Structure 1
């Protein structure tokens, strides 16, 4: 009988580790190499024929022992049939979509997706003759009415990038599967600690390992976790394109996994504390945080997630761009950067892009990533800068 899945905390510590031999290292070493040699032609040909299978040693671009250990660890965490690593989160998204699209195909994409997802669809896929239709992410099971005979995939995020709506994952995935269309979810925000979307009916989960999964802002990598039906096709696409992860990045991602559950617990608590504090400030019109009841889709988050991340957004009362710039520049504990999920706090003004609808808020949208600093220090930093957003400061 197969062993039951290990508890999450155990899996994070025990998977992707060196073989159980006496005197072993705690961590796998950095593994570097391109050419792999064989002692017989038959062994070489067998490896060549199985090169798209995770675990087959054939040539460095297809993976090595450390790569396969990380893929297996992530597959266990996501409860996936297979995981393929990519060189970045954007590569994970792009290569997954490339697996499913064909010239003349119709692709459904949620209107709140990551900007680089939209850029890939409107740029590369458009040039390939793929029609991308953007849909209201809160459409739920009604997405069935948008699916055509030529629809090749449904791509969405939970929560949305920048605006943090939480779609009904099982409803969208279920409608897509009923129509024979694969669903793809960007699950970077939640990580498998807080949501295992494959268990909710999603076919493919993509994520940036550069963020929470590695956790230290020093690793660029992506992940594609999928069901049995799509695992081999996705892996074949990644390998045929020639995407490759680096040995040091694999080492860093394996290291980061060990503390993921502890870090996510801190980010959840600190994020909620900081969001609640900001919500009470006079300059703040609205806080967009999935754990807060007034966030769109909060009921979906409460049902499908076991926790929250430390990334959320704030809508400030209408003010000038110059005021927002002055506010952001005045912060000392918050760096200005496009990524998130590391140990440092970040701040970034955001301008949502919409095709299926409009962004209705009339205030200024600013995204916050809460790191590992003392929340008292973060509050003091914000309290000193917030008066720059008052009308009298113009």
Structure 2
């Protein structure tokens, strides 16, 4: 982990992350195995009618019906709750399953939601298109301006949705300041912590009520599963769970097992990715073909001091703009050899996308402008490859610009 990124300290009596990811779930099942078993069963039998009634009436029971819970789900939940410092957690079949389920569980017609102008594109579409259809008002604010959040609050504001660093522009939100604004007014704050991971940032420690993840990304870490996680209090988890079982965004036992396996190495992977990303961001700033680099770990980032204050590491996502516009950016992306041209992020392989080309298929031009996506914008997910090889790959691709 780089020496600048250790400001959000952990509680002194808490086990270190490297230990938590291996032992937090030790007591979930005691079947004698060292590696956890995969419980590939949709349903679980009761020994008698009294036990069945207890299983059916217990929210989030891990051995009733896999849409309600599963022993492998229980292991993931234990690890994630410990990592994020929350009372409990829920798992879903995708990151958007986690985000949509949480939002729909916590707002109703007539309520008001505050969100950022910059969110992951599917989250943005929930705000722009889905919630208004169900009678929920949404106000979008510039996330770097805490006064904009305060000015947007209304008597019927029930939820604030934040994402920091934001996808894809890596703008940072002052999580503690937003949480403080909301707390005295009884507003729930939900934070998407996908880009940071709990290794680099713990929003709950800063006052955030609900922390959501696309576990498809860093938590799984190998580009081989889709999953979502919701970390929160017992009270809010029960509210969200009742919506979850109706929506049915179920995490399969196999994907839950793969996610648990990925979590075992999360601290080590993130440490290496942090180091790679900072080195590449500094390298890119020196290249004449690059117009601008966006990375919270750079001193040139306008919110670098805030990032240092609330994060312990700056993550593996870099964004940058290529000189020469859309066509030059297309040539650059096509010329990369080690960095794969593919959606998603957070795995062992470095992935790259020409953001305007990817998001243009699902967002309007106005939505893209609001999100800050320029025609020459590149989103780069740094992997675990050797830093010298990644630099060489970028350098050769820049020669065609």
Query: TM (normalized to structure 2)?
Result: 0.90
Map 1:141-156 → 2, pairs under 5 A:
142-156=148-162
Partner of 1:82: 88
Map 1:1-394 → 2, pairs under 5 A:
4-17=13-26, 24-50=32-58, 52-53=59-60, 55-140=61-146, 142-317=148-323, 319-351=324-356, 364-389=376-401
**What residue ranges of structure 2 are gaps of 5+ in the alignment?**
1-11, 360-364
SS at match of 1:366: strand
The Cα of 1:359 is off from its aligned counterpart by: 6.6
Measure the CA separation in 1 of the matches of 2:182 and 2:207.
Answer: 9
Measure the CA separation in 2 of the matches of 1:253 and 1:362.
Answer: 34
Q: Deviation digits for residues 229-288 of structure 1, max 9, x if unmatched?
A: 412111221122222110110110111111111101100000011111111000112210
Higher relative contact order (CA 8 A, sep 6+): 2
1:60–1:195 Cα change, 3 Å: same
How many pairs are equivalent? 383
Deviates more, 1:302-311 or 1:116-125: 116-125
Deviates more, 1:347-356 or 1:191-200: 347-356
Measure the CA separation in 1 of the matches of 2:368 and 2:70.
Answer: 43
The Cα of 1:368 is off from its aligned counterpart by: 0.8
Regions of 4+ moved over 6 Å: 18-21, 352-357, 359-363
Measure the CA separation in 2 of the matches of 1:157 and 1:359.
Answer: 13
> 1:140–1:171: 8 Å Cα contact kept in structure 2?
yes
> 2:117–2:371: 8 Å Cα contact kept in structure 1?
no
The Cα of 1:362 is off from its aligned counterpart by: 6.8
> 1:198–1:227: 8 Å Cα contact kept in structure 2?
no
Q: Deviation digits for residues 176-208 of structure 1, max 9, x if unmatched?
A: 122111001000011111111101000000001
Measure the CA separation in 1 of the matches of 2:304 and 2:37.
Answer: 42
RMSD (Å) for aligned C-alpha atoms: 2.2
Measure the CA separation in 1 of the matches of 2:234 and 2:181.
Answer: 19
> 2:220–2:258: 8 Å Cα contact kept in structure 1?
yes
> 1:316–1:363: 8 Å Cα contact kept in structure 2?
no
Partner of 1:392: none
Measure the CA separation in 2 of the matches of 1:277 and 1:366.
Answer: 15
Q: Deviation digits for residues 49-84 of structure 1, max 9, x if unmatched?
A: 11x24x542222111211111111111111111100
Measure the CA separation in 1 of the matches of 2:234 and 2:342.
Answer: 37
1:369–1:375 Cα change, 3 Å: same
Partner of 2:7: none
1:357–1:181 Cα change, 3 Å: farther
1:247–1:363 Cα change, 3 Å: closer
The Cα of 1:356 is off from its aligned counterpart by: 12
Measure the CA separation in 1 of the matches of 2:341 and 2:396.
Answer: 17
The Cα of 1:39 is off from its aligned counterpart by: 2.1
Deviates more, 1:75-84 or 1:372-381: 372-381
The Cα of 1:147 is off from its aligned counterpart by: 0.9
Measure the CA separation in 2 of the matches of 1:178 and 1:341.
Answer: 35
Measure the CA separation in 1 of the matches of 2:143 and 2:28.
Answer: 44
Measure the CA separation in 1 of the matches of 2:352 and 2:129.
Answer: 28
